[in-house]
Amino acid sequence: MNANTVKILALGDITGVSACEKVCRCLNKIKSEYGIDFTVANGENAASHNGLDRSTAELLLGGGIDVLTSGNHIFQKREMLTYIDENPYIIRPANYPSGTPGKGSFIFESFGLRILVMNVLGTTYIEPLSCPFEAVEKMLCENDGQYDISILDVHAEATSEKLALANYFDGKIDIIYGTHTHVQTSDTRFFPKGTAYLTDLGMCGPIDSILGVDVSKVIEKFRTHLPVRFETPEGECEMNGAVFTYDRKLRKCTGIELVRRNIG
């Protein structure tokens, strides 16, 4: 770690077991190249046929990812209903109903810094959960004074909802980015009060696909409107995400760099 800056790598939705393996194989090289101090990734599509399970979670966390966020597919694999409480490095959207297994935030401590990672699910065109604004406000209140850097993963369909959350929490959260749509956006920006923002990190998954799904299966679904079993194709993968630079003296983010590369 540079004495004055912290480099944070945020990776978009990791899609499929093959992508998990390829991300882990190249992650140390990429972290060294950018001087990364902390890595967070969305893992809700990492297991076969969506969701996250113990084996893929342990592969990713053992491969250099520090914290895994998630989204609407987090409980696709039933084992996650118990495993998520065993592993604090995996968080789920905070606006799930009270009593849902897991937590919506986690404070990662490293290099003398406390990094608060939060996760919420959008409610427009997606699961009808409780208000994400209220969920974020609650997490900030509960963790007040216990963290140095704050990060929010907004797993949402609607661009407007992501932007609304970013505007509302401008100056209250250091880094806000979106996941879920699997398409990296190019709208990196700093809001007036200092929050660093990106609408969607993109996807870590197969290049020759439609959002990580076999092209023929998606076309079949659109053409027939009949049930189709989606499959994640093999082949070359790309990594999408962003590197956020946090200045420890200024106590704010000062840089955002998009990451998009072929990882074989």
CA distance 233 to 239: 16
Report the C-alpha gap between 28 and 170 in whole angstroms: 32
Return the number of other C-beta atoms located less than 10 Å from residue 229's C-beta: 8
**pLDDT tens by residue, 184-243:** 999 999 999 999 999 999 999 999 999 999 999 999 999 999 999 999 999 999 999 999
Nearest to 10 by CA among 199, 225, 136: 199
Which element (helix H / strand E) includes 161? helix 159-168
Nearest CA to 198 among 2, 5, 4, 8?
A: 8
Q: Is 235 left (phi over 0), alpha (psi -120 to 50) or beta?
A: left
The amino acid occupying position 47 is: A
Active site annotation includes 73: yes
- Please identify every stretch of the chain with a pLDDT value under 70, giving residue numbers as ranges: 1
Domain span at residue 84 reads 5-262
pLDDT reported for residue 1: 62
**Separate counts of helices (H) and strands (E) for the chain:** 6, 13
**Domain count within the chain:** 1
Which amino acid, residue 77?
K
Starting at the edge strand found earlier in the chain, the sheet holding 105-110 runs 105-110, 113-121, 149-155, 175-179, 196-198, 189-190
Q: What whole-number distance in Å separates Cα of residue 177 and Cα of residue 131?
A: 18
**pTM confidence score:** 0.97
Catalytic residue among 73, 155, 180, 182: 73
> What is the CATH classification number for the domain harbouring 256?
3.60.21.10
**DSSP-assigned letter for residue 56:** H
Q: What is the CA radius of gyration of the chain?
A: 17
